Amino acid sequence: MPEINYFWDEIEDNVVREYDENNNTIASYTTEPTLYGSVLSQDRGGEKRCFQFDGQGNTTELTDPSGAVTDMHRYSAFGETTASNGATSTPLGFGGRWGYHTSGGDSISVRRRDLAIRLGRWLSVDPLAVIRQWSFPPVPYTYTSNRPPNSHDPSGLEPTGACLHCEKYYKETIVNNATYKKCWAQFVEFANRIADVKRRDDCLKVKFTCDDKCDRGVAAHVTYPWPEKPWATIYLCSSHTLWWGTDVELAAETLCHELAHVTQLKSECTDRPFDPTNCLHRVAMEMLAYYCTGKCDSGKSCRMLPEADEKKIKVCKGKKLSLEDSLYLARYLDDAIAAGKACAITTRIVGAIR
């Protein structure tokens, strides 16, 4: 059997290219700039095909560049092909949108684990169950809590029915929230003030997507891949209760907070980005994001402040402030405290640093 190797995008956790043992490209894929799949098309030996998916993310049709359907596929709940026609070769069938790779046998490679098609279960234990000494779902071999029509698991770690709900919640509810609309308009206005056209356009490159790889307790976070691909991606951590639909206003406020981080951290947006690895900068960065979104008055959204952890506070103790660090704190934290906008927990952190 010919050897197949993969070029892997570690940031987005996607296969970008397949190549043989002689480094000849077999196939290449295009995906959206987001975590897990969002596959758009493949080019295999010069034969280009676009993917069409059902609601579960399964490849139902392949189309040529003109839009004509060349292949059709249908599947059982756990990935067995029940109907198929067409001659195009692709491993992205069941779960194809999310990057599930079918080897042609009775199992599907889903990143960290293999899914047994006929058994309808994983062939190995949930890695998170081993690390954390618990499992979700309760049985560590169960695929998506035995509810594949309502969920998927592109990480091979946890089912993402919550991801599907999160995406729907964002697209149908949050984007229509008045607070969210206002802060997005403010972000666009901020970016439009940048004189350099390319920097302005790159600053506006922000994606929102749901993510099941977040640390426990984190509601959202933002990342920037690399200069050649200047999209900032704000991840909504789908396992967090914030995206279950109980508090739309707080969900919108959280995304406003993350947009503030984009303006702080993304070099295309600012001439003086914060350094998130610097403890003092990190505290100032968080405080400013809350201050700018005006949501520290009640302390409601500050329950998500990462620095609330006592261990993290201790790391900052005894620091001698450089002139630059003092300016960061004086400019952002003290002004916020004086204006009555600072949460009590943040005030305590500032005291610990000093």
Which pairing describes strands 39-44 and 25-31: parallel, antiparallel, or unpaired? antiparallel
Q: Do 25 and 104 reside in the same domain of the chain?
A: yes
Q: How far apart are CA 77 and CA 115, in angstroms?
A: 12
Whether 144 maps to a domain, the answer reads: no
In a domain, 145, yes or no: no
Of 246, 273, 300, which closes a domain? Answer: 273
Residue 217: predicted pLDDT = 65
Q: Does the pLDDT of residue 15 top 50, yes or no?
A: yes
Number of structural domains (the chain) is: 3
Indicate if 9 and 115 belong to the same structural domain: yes
Contact present, 332 and 288 (Cβ < 8 Å): yes
Whether 126 is in a domain gets the answer: no
Q: Where a domain ends, among 244, 273, 302?
A: 273
Any domain includes 334:
yes
Least confident of 20-34, 151-165, 232-246: 151-165
pLDDT at 95: 92
> Does residue 167 belong to any structural domain of this protein?
yes
Residues 254 and 292 reside in one and the same domain? no
Tokens standing for residue 202: 């790159």
Residues 254 and 182 in one domain: yes
Given 238, 273, 308, which residue is the final one in a domain? 273
Are residues 253 and 282 located together in one domain of the fold? no
Q: How many angstroms separate the CA atoms of 137 and 142, rounded?
A: 7
- At position 193, the amino acid (one-letter code) is R
pLDDT tier at 173, thresholds 50, 70, 90: very high
| Alpha carbon distance 244, 41 (integer Å) | 32
**Residue 148 resides in a domain:** no
Do both 230 and 172 map to the same domain? yes
Q: Do 24 and 41 belong to one domain? A: yes
Domain of residue 214: give its range: 160-273
Q: Which of 29-33, 301-305, 327-331 has the highest mean pLDDT?
A: 29-33
pTM comes to 0.50
Neighbour tally for 103: CB within 10 Å: 12
143 found inside a domain: no
pLDDT(3) > 60: yes
From the list 179, 119, 196, 128, the residue with the least C-alpha distance to 156 is 128
Tell whether 195 and 103 lie within a shared domain: no
Predicted confidence band of residue 314 (pLDDT cuts 50, 70, 90): very low
Same domain, 13 and 68: yes
Q: What's the pLDDT tens digit per position in 264-292?
A: 888 888 887 877 776 667 766 776 676 55
Q: CA end-to-end span of the chain, whole Å?
A: 65
Q: Are residues 310 and 239 in the same domain?
A: no
Let me know whether 110 and 18 are in one domain: yes
For residue 214, being part of any structural domain is answered with yes
Quick one: which of 56, 55, 6, 51 has its CA closest to 26?
Answer: 6
